[in-house]
Amino acid sequence: MKIVKFQRVEEVNWGILENDKVFELRGNLYAEFKRGKEICNIEEVRLLAPVEPTIMVCCGMNYMERFKENYIGEARLKPTSEPIIFFKPATAVIGPLEDIIFPSIAETLRYEAELCAVIKRPARYVPEKEARDYILGYTCGNELGAMDLMKRDKWMTRAKGFDTSGCLGPYLVTDIEPNNISIRSSVNGEKKQDSNTRFMIFSVEKLISFISEFMTLRPGDVIWTGSPEGACNVNVGDTIEIEMSGIGILKNKVARASKNK
């Protein structure tokens, strides 16, 4: 099932997408719901990010090939025994076709394609084998980072938490196998990443179990599962496309920060 969050005229609603038709979502998105009457064609609505998180939890360096790209001096980084976790605020979220604003305080901007899982019920001390029971669905993510700020700060709060640094969409898909999804990305039509979630070091289930050991995940919260090798820096005017099998294509353009903001 594909779930969409959309704006039509002035109203924002959740719906179910079937064959380019948007249907009512009747019931509670995080409990029991069903398909209602047909509303319109997908072309008649503006798609929004299909999430409403209180917080987003991210895993860094979760693909083995990434370690071949990263060095400290001449020493190659090595995988850790536990996930590397950091946070992104809910204010970072933007949806399909919305502009990524190049932070005025930064000089270097890097994108990363990531599978994201959305939580459907409160999750605390979740056994790994039960983790999927806590997932509402999956969507494409484009995780932006200001790499010069990371180098300057020695951490990720400013570098990864700025407004528009979390692109999500276009749909939330409930019935796919998360550990075997092709994940590709391109910049201005040129392919940059081409991998599969089966190469993740820590599975979606492992990440949810690990995170829920130290914090409560709430309905709507987003788990970012890390990016494969091949991501690169982007500039104002660049168009980034993230494509995942069974989900769709997330497209965003990088824009310059307004002098009035």
Average pLDDT over residues 76-88: 86
The whole domain housing 88 covers 51-256
Beta-strand relationship, 222-224 and 55-60: parallel
At residue 157, the 3 state secondary structure works out as helix
Average pLDDT over residues 76-98: 91
Average pLDDT over residues 150-160: 94
At residue 97, the 3 state secondary structure works out as coil
Average pLDDT over residues 93-99: 98
Quick check: is 158 in a domain?
A: yes
Average pLDDT over residues 66-72: 62
- Stated pTM of the model: 0.95
Query: Mean pLDDT of all residues in the chain?
Result: 94
Among 48, 68, 86, the domain boundary falls at 48
pLDDT in tens, 1-48: 999 999 999 899 999 999 999 999 999 999 999 999 999 999 999 999
For residue 26, what are the contacts with CB-CB under 8 A and spacing of at least 6?
A: 33, 34, 35, 36
* 211 exposure class (CB count in 10 Å sphere: 0-12, 13-18, 19+): buried
Position 76 scores a pLDDT of 56
Instruction: Determine how many CB atoms are found less than 10 A away from the CB of residue 120.
Output: 21
Position 66 scores a pLDDT of 79
What is the band of 67 on the pLDDT scale with cuts at 50, 70, 90? confident
Domain co-membership, 6 together with 59: no
Q: Please report, rounded to a whole number, the percentage of residues in the chain having pLDDT higher than 70.
A: 95
Domain co-membership, 61 together with 183: yes
Indicate whether 196 pLDDT > 50.
yes
- CATH assignment at residue 29: 2.30.30
Count of domains in the chain?
2
pLDDT in tens, 209-249: 999 999 999 999 999 999 999 999 999 999 999 999 999 99
